[in-house]
Amino acid sequence: MRGARELISNYNLSFFVFLFCFLFISTSPLMAATINIPEKIRVAVADNAVELNLSIKGPYEIRTLETEELLEKGRTFFNIKIRPFSYGIDFGKKKFKIYAIHIIPQRQPAIYLGKRLYRGSLQIIKTEEGLLRAINIINLEDYLKGVLFHEVSHRWPMDAVKAQAIASRTFALYQAQQNNQQYYYLKADVSSQVYGGVYAERYRTNKAVEETKGEVLVWNGKLLPAFFHATCGGHTEYVNRLWKVNAKPLKGVGCVYCKNSPHFSWEREVALTTIEKRLNEAGYNISGISSIKIKGRDPSGRVIQLIIKGKGERVRISAKDFRHILGSRITRSTNFIVTIIGDSAHFEGKGWGHGVGLCQWGAFSMAKKGKDAQQILNFYYPGAEIVSIGGR
């Protein structure tokens, strides 16, 4: 055997090593995935503000947004009031006659906006409406450290937290792709995913981010829109019923894991006048509601449409829009029954959230039963792969 091995020349050995590496890299999910990774994540941490209260701890620069021209250098400042004015941005005792500035601290973390502390840098833009928008420019992994505590408990089993870290990272990058022509990719509230900056960081959630660094979900060579929600109530939803997305891993799965969630079942009593008011504010003309009828359910059990009758008016509305109009605190999901009792509508429902993708309380239960993060994600996003993008 030794003699046979020695027949292979160094040249041939190098060729076989090269060939192996080429085939491995070419067929790996990472190389197949067409993923454009931004250097930074752009998060709107304040919007439509008439005033911002800003402090910077340590040396900083203020530059123009488009040309990066240096406007000012300084060592530190505290409680500067920033306001829009007719020609630009009123920055304490200074006036910048431009529509946007970029504040770049030399130390980290250094940005105090209101009561929150942020890493990265901060752009302040005067909008077309004459108000202020503040955008935090931050590394992806640092952004996630400010997200996880608001999405799952840092006391949950580590594999549930790691599953959320991978889902949140994927969601953030997917939104960055979708909004790459906008000033910001995500908001800091529930319309994207809640982001609280440095004060939201905890040891165990930071650990979950670090131990999954760069890991994302892909399907068909692209980032998966990794939606998630609190509690599915027994079955996750097909994404196509809510958004114009067609992804096989988001077609919905039966879930037996979230039964112990505090949000698995819920009840709400809402005055009919409140429903009328909110429908009218949303552009639906109705008064004197006499009945609310469910018109169809999808395979997950969620309501498709509602028909609401009033004094001569009849409104047909999707359950998705109805829930949005009433608010998620009233209609926690679209899996409900509704009964009119006197002057009120009585709702009984299951789950909390839109129902697409990862069920967070289901992930908690799966981790408690010994399932790891990959098994959790494989269950809620069947067919998706976890690949590494190297982290940012």
Rounded to 5°, the CA angle 242-246-251 comes to 70
The per-residue pLDDT for 290 is 96
Q: Are 183 and 135 in contact (CB under 8 A)?
A: yes
Q: How many CB atoms lie within 10 A of CB 387?
A: 18
pTM of this prediction?
Answer: 0.89
- Provide the 3-class DSSP secondary structure of residue 284: coil
Comparing C-alpha atoms, which of 89, 99, 176 is closest to residue 138?
Answer: 176
**Three-state DSSP class for residue 120:** coil
Using CA atoms, how far apart are residues 335 and 322, in angstroms rounded to an integer? 12
Tens place of pLDDT for every residue, the chain, 392 residues? Answer: 333 333 233 334 333 333 333 333 333 344 334 577 888 999 999 999 999 999 999 999 999 999 999 999 999 999 999 999 999 999 998 999 999 999 999 999 999 999 999 999 999 999 999 999 999 999 999 999 999 999 999 999 999 999 999 999 999 999 999 999 999 999 999 999 999 999 999 999 999 999 999 999 999 999 999 999 999 999 999 999 999 999 999 999 999 999 999 999 999 999 999 999 999 999 999 999 999 999 999 999 999 999 999 998 999 999 999 999 999 999 999 999 999 999 999 999 999 999 999 999 999 999 999 999 999 999 999 999 999 996 44
Strand-strand pairing, 41-49 and 186-187: parallel
Quick one: how far is CA 126 from the chain centroid? Answer: 25
The pLDDT assigned to 35 comes to 75
Answer yes or no: are the C-beta atoms of 216 and 225 closer than 8 Å: no
345, β-bridge pairs: 270, 340
User: Taking each helix axis from N to C terminus, what angle separates 360-368 and 373-380, rounded to the nearest 10 degrees?
Assistant: 140
**37 DSSP 8-state letter:** P
- Token match 């509690």: residue? 231
| Token couple for 328 | 């998620």
pLDDT attached to residue 34? 55
Peptide bond into 29 cis (omega under 30): no
pLDDT of residue 25: 31
Pick the CATH number of 41-138 from 3.40.50, 1.10.3470, 1.10.357, 2.60.40: 2.60.40
The domains of the chain are located at: 41-138, 143-251+355-388, 265-350
Nearby residues of 53 by Cβ (< 8 Å), 6 or more positions away:
79, 80, 81, 82, 113, 114
* CA angle centred on 251, ends 143 and 322, rounded to 5°: 80
- H-state helical runs in the chain: 2-6, 10-27, 29-32, 140-145, 148-151, 158-178, 203-211, 272-281, 319-326, 360-368, 373-380
| Element (DSSP H or E) covering residue 126 | strand 121-126
Q: What are 93's two structure tokens?
A: 């005792």
Structure tokens at 381: 């996003």
User: pLDDT of 252-286, one tens digit each?
Assistant: 999 999 999 999 999 999 999 999 999 999 999 99
pLDDT at 37: 83
Q: What pLDDT does residue 24 have?
A: 35
Give the strands of the sheet with 314-318, arranged side by side: 291-297, 303-309, 314-318
What pLDDT does 10 receive? 38
pLDDT of residue 15: 36
